[in-house]
């Protein structure tokens, strides 16, 4: 894995964990005793934190530091598309089911 890929994984996880904690960049910066602008620079990829800062950020977000480096992104385009296909399939199935129910109701109503 290249440095740029690992850096992007860290950035993605930092944003995800910060948002899950309901914290703004300012709040995270205050908890880490660093300016919010530095958190912004990390999240935009302009800077990368030291190990000490990684530990401070992890502590502030109450997340073990190693989780920031785990790649949770899909590995292939097919894996990335699965949630979309699943949502599309569910919608399509729901529409087909609704059409069949409506059709059946109208047939019953017409008999009476």
Instruction: Answer for the pair 54, 65: CB distance below 8 angstroms, yes or no.
Output: yes
Cα–Cα distance measured from residue 103 to residue 97, given in angstroms and rounded to the nearest whole number: 10
Say yes or no: 26 and 62 in one domain.
yes
Q: Which residues, in sequence order, are CB contacts of 27 under 8 Å at separation 6+?
A: none
Say yes or no: 60 and 86 in one domain.
no
CA angle centred on 32, ends 28 and 34, rounded to 5°: 90
- State the chain's mean pLDDT as an integer: 84
- Into how many domains does the chain fold? 2
Say yes or no: 62 and 86 in one domain.
no
Q: Write the CATH number for 49.
A: 1.10.260.40
Say yes or no: 53 and 21 in one domain.
yes
Over residues 19-73, the pLDDT tens digits come to: 999 999 999 999 999 999 999 999 999 999 999 999 999 999 999 999 998 887 7
Say yes or no: 43 and 63 in one domain.
yes
Say yes or no: 50 and 99 in one domain.
no
- The boundaries of the domain holding residue 85 are 74-112
Over residues 86-100, the pLDDT tens digits come to: 666 666 667 777 777
């Amino acid at each position: 894995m290249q440095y740029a890929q690992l850096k992007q994984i860290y950035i993605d996880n930092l944003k995800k964990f910060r948002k899950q904690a309901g914290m703004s960049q300012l709040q995270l910066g205050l908890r880490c005793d660093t300016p919010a602008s530095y958190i912004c620079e990390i999240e935009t990829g302009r800077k990368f934190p030291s190990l000490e800062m990684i530990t401070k950020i992890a502590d502030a977000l109450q997340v073990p530091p190693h989780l920031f480096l785990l790649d949770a992104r899909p590995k292939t385009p097919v894996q990335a598309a699965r949630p979309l296909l699943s949502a599309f399939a569910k919608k399509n199935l729901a529409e087909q089911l609704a059409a069949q129910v409506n059709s059946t109701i109208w047939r019953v109503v017409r008999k009476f």
